[in-house]
């Protein structure tokens, strides 16, 4: 029996050991991964065959397979000065729950290939969508776009790509990719599990209440990028990533279409199409000197005539005439914002003193938006900018893992202004009818949103788990309305478990 066992492959021995059948001639207690019944040693070959039939496996032996991901659920409390409530069990959109598959294989000692598939669920119960008028705030899709019990949206493919990498040359990635560019903090401190640089990921639908009238005013999303940055984070495209050279890594991407086409032989009148382009570039650095860890990045992105990846975009599914009073896409709105011309650049710096755990990290972003007017041209850019900083300490004081204590401050300027574009202000026959008038942007600059906060993250290394709580107080002003806005308090707490 033992001689027969020794003649089998190492993979079969691993199967037997995992099932607690037989290792080195000794019986091993089993958690009974498969209920195979019978005497453990009566028919070893039959048991091996049954174990193989009940074991998850990958499609081939050449390309590796790793399954990974995390679950991040939270509780969010708000107080807008007149009302307060608590939403329980939301997916934390700062680090949304997800799962993925990735793998690689060596072609030569210096050349390898691989793939990545990363998904999350378009959960209707997310911190970014919950607000005073919706305890969940996400998409209602089941059935027939109406609300239902557990009515979630669809699975979202974050990354789906293949890559080829040469050690001396770098990596080329093709498919759905994460855009190049510097979006937000570089997090050496370990704070982003609960909150991040995009405040709209935590209570984006929460609205500021106007003093005097108590009417709800602009939301956190209205006065910021929204949850996800100034230009869509992901796209279909191609990306180059350099090897690390003296701590520096460069990457650049281009996607959607290689050439911008707003007028073609198929649309000689200059009709807007979805044939836009997104480009990005980024340079990052990481190093350590005298016990001080340094991480920095600077990057930029451009989006032109690519509606689905632009701030204040108006999504289209068909060719749309530019300007005039012609119906567009069956919705009755003139195509005045479709071909947005967006550009942003950003920089981030993070420092940590490793022996003490003290850290400081911050970032700055400037965004320019070109609004398409009723003739199909672009008005002058409307700029917005943001910055935020965090300072704190990350130290394993209690033996469970790092305890992270931090304070933060951030400021957003002119984001409502940059998103205030042309719109249809009158429709014949009601909603869905032809547009009979166009509302021009108000062009009122000066909207502002500031926040300060404190937070705590407790890492539990033995369970690959993080517990967190963060408090933020937001204040804002809106030049489009004379009434001042009351401050808004938001608390989010929860846990992330990695697998």
Listed by start position, the domains of the chain span 1-57, 69-498
Residue 470 has pLDDT above 70, yes or no: yes
| Bridge partners for 498 per DSSP | 70
What's the pLDDT at 305?
A: 75
Residue 90 has pLDDT above 80, yes or no: yes
Residue 306 has pLDDT above 50, yes or no: yes
- Check residues 317 and 171 and name the one with the higher pLDDT: 171
Q: What does the mean pLDDT of the chain come to?
A: 80
- Between CA 234 and CA 236 the distance in angstroms is 7
Residue 345 has pLDDT above 80, yes or no: yes
| Bridge partners for 30 per DSSP | none
Lookup: tokens for 48? 């091996």
Dihedral-angle region of residue 184 (phi above 0 means left; psi in -120 to 50 means alpha; beta otherwise): left
Lookup: tokens for 467? 């517990």
Query: Which residues fall within 8 angstroms of residue 131, CB to CB, at 6 or more apart?
Result: 137, 203, 204, 205, 206, 207, 219
Lookup: tokens for 461? 């290394």
What's the pLDDT at 336?
A: 47
Its CATH class, for the domain covering 69-498, is: mainly beta
R_g of the chain, CA atoms, integer Å: 27
- For residue 461, CA distances in Å to 176, 453, 499 come to 32, 26, 12
Mean per-residue pLDDT, 315-343: 47
Band of residue 36 on the pLDDT scale cut at 50, 70, 90 = very low
Task: Tell me the pLDDT tens digit for each residue of 237-253.
Answer: 999 999 999 999 999 99
- Check residues 13 and 237 and name the one with the higher pLDDT: 237
Listed residue (245, 99, 114) closest to 171, CA to CA: 114
| Contact assessment for residue 213 and residue 145, using Cβ atoms and an 8 Å cutoff | no
Task: Tell me the pLDDT tens digit for each residue of 392-420.
Answer: 999 999 999 999 999 999 999 998 888 77
What's the pLDDT at 326?
A: 42
| Contact assessment for residue 379 and residue 420, using Cβ atoms and an 8 Å cutoff | no
Lookup: tokens for 377? 């041209």
Task: Tell me the pLDDT tens digit for each residue of 135-183.
Answer: 877 554 444 444 445 555 567 788 999 999 999 999 999 999 998 988 8
Query: Which residues fall within 8 angstroms of residue 289, CB to CB, at 6 or more apart?
Result: none
Mean per-residue pLDDT, 319-337: 42
Which residues in 197-234 are b (16+ Cβ under 10 Å) and which e? bbbbbbbbbbbbbbeeeeebbbbbbbbbbbbbbbbbbb
Most confident of the following: 14-23, 39-48, 222-231 = 222-231
Residue 19, SS3 per DSSP: helix
């Amino acid at each position: 029996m033992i001689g027969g066992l020794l003649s089998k492959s190492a993979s079969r021995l691993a199967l037997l050991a995992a099932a607690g059948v037989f290792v080195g001639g000794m019986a091993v207690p089993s958690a009974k991964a498969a209920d195979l019944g019978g005497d453990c040693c009566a028919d070893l070959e039959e048991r091996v065959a049954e174990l193989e039939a009940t074991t998850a496996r990958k499609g081939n032996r050449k390309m590796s397979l790793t399954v990974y991901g995390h679950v991040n659920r939270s509780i969010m409390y708000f107080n807008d000065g007149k009302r307060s409530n608590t939403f329980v069990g939301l997916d934390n959109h700062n680090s949304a729950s997800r799962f993925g598959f990735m793998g690689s294989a060596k072609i030569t000692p210096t050349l390898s290939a691989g793939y990545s598939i990363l998904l999350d669920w378009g959960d209707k119960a997310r911190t970014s969508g919950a607000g005073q008028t919706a305890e969940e705030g996400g998409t209602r899709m089941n059935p027939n776009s109406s609300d239902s019990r557990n009515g979630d949206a669809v699975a979202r493919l974050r990354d789906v790509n293949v890559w080829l990498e040469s050690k001396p040359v770098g990596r080329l990635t093709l498919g759905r990719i994460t855009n190049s560019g510097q979006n937000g903090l570089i997090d050496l401190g370990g704070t982003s599990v609960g909150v991040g640089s995009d405040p709209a990921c935590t209570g984006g639908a929460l609205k500021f209440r106007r003093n005097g009238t108590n009417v709800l005013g602009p939301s956190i999303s209205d006065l910021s990028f929204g949850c996800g940055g100034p230009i869509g984070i992901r796209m279909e495209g191609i990306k180059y990533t350099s090897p690390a050279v003296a701590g520096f890594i460069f990457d650049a991407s281009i996607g959607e279409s290689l050439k911008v086409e707003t007028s073609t032989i198929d649309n000689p009148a200059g009709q807007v199409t979805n044939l836009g382009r997104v480009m990005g570039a980024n340079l990052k650095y990481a190093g350590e000197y005298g016990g001080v860890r340094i991480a920095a990045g600077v990057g930029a992105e451009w989006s032109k005539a690519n509606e689905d990846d632009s701030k204040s975009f108006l999504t289209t599914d068909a060719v749309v005439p530019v300007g005039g009073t012609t119906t567009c896409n069956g919705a009755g709105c003139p195509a005045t914002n479709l071909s947005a011309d967006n550009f942003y650049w950003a920089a981030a710096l993070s420092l940590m003193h490793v022996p003490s755990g003290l850290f400081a990290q911050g970032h700055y972003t400037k965004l320019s938006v070109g609004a398409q007017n009723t003739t199909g041209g672009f008005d002058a850019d409307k700029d917005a900018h943001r910055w935020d900083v965090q300072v704190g300490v990350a130290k394993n004081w209690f033996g469970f893992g790092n305890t992270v204590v931090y304070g933060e401050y951030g400021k957003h300027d002119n984001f409502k202004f940059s998103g205030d574009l042309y719109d249809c202000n009158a429709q014949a026959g009601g909603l869905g009818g032809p547009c009979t008038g166009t509302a021009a942007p108000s062009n009122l600059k000066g909207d502002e949103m500031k926040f300060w906060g404190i937070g705590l993250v407790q890492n539990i290394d033995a369970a690959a788990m993080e517990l967190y709580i963060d408090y933020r107080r937001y204040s804002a002003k809106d030049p489009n309305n004379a009434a001042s806005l009351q401050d808004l308090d938001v608390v989010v707490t929860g846990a992330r478990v990695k697998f």
